Amino acid sequence: MKSKRYTEEFKIEAVKQITDRGHSVASVSARLGVSTHSLYQWIKTYSMPEGERKAAQDQQAELRHLKAELKRVTEERDILKKAAAYFAKESG
């Protein structure tokens, strides 16, 4: 099943229909053909000011990068531990 990608403008307009115009999440969901879960996520994301939103997105991107780097370094450490144990066993 292929998921749809929506533009940022589309998401902001959908959130405005809920927050500014007072429409329910269910009615906007049915009208636009978007899941209620997606709408709640968009409300969470786009209800904060743009500056804060950009800062939060930057922090999330940095966190993803650091987690990936930590995973890589942990794998390298585990490989080196195994190699050290192997060579210690061979020489001992």
pLDDT over 70 for what percent of the chain? 96
Same domain, 41 and 61: no
65-89 pLDDT, tens per residue? 999 999 999 999 999 999 999 999 9
Q: Which domain holds residue 41?
A: 1-47
pTM here is 0.58
Based on the structure, what is the number of domains in the chain? Answer: 2
Indicate whether 90 pLDDT > 90: no
- The type of residue at 59 is Q
Same domain, 32 and 55: no
Same domain, 85 and 73: yes
Tokens of 15: 């959130």
User: In the listed set 47, 67, 82, which residue is the last one of a domain according to the structure?
Assistant: 47
Same domain, 56 and 90: yes
Q: What residues contact residue 58 under an 8 Å CB cut-off, 6+ apart?
A: none
pLDDT for the residue numbered 91? 81
Distance CA 20, CA 47 (A): 10
H-helix segments, 1-92: 8-19, 25-32, 36-46, 50-91
The gap between the terminal CA atoms of the chain, to the nearest Å, is 57
4-49 pLDDT, tens per residue? 789 989 999 999 999 999 999 999 999 999 999 999 999 998 888 8
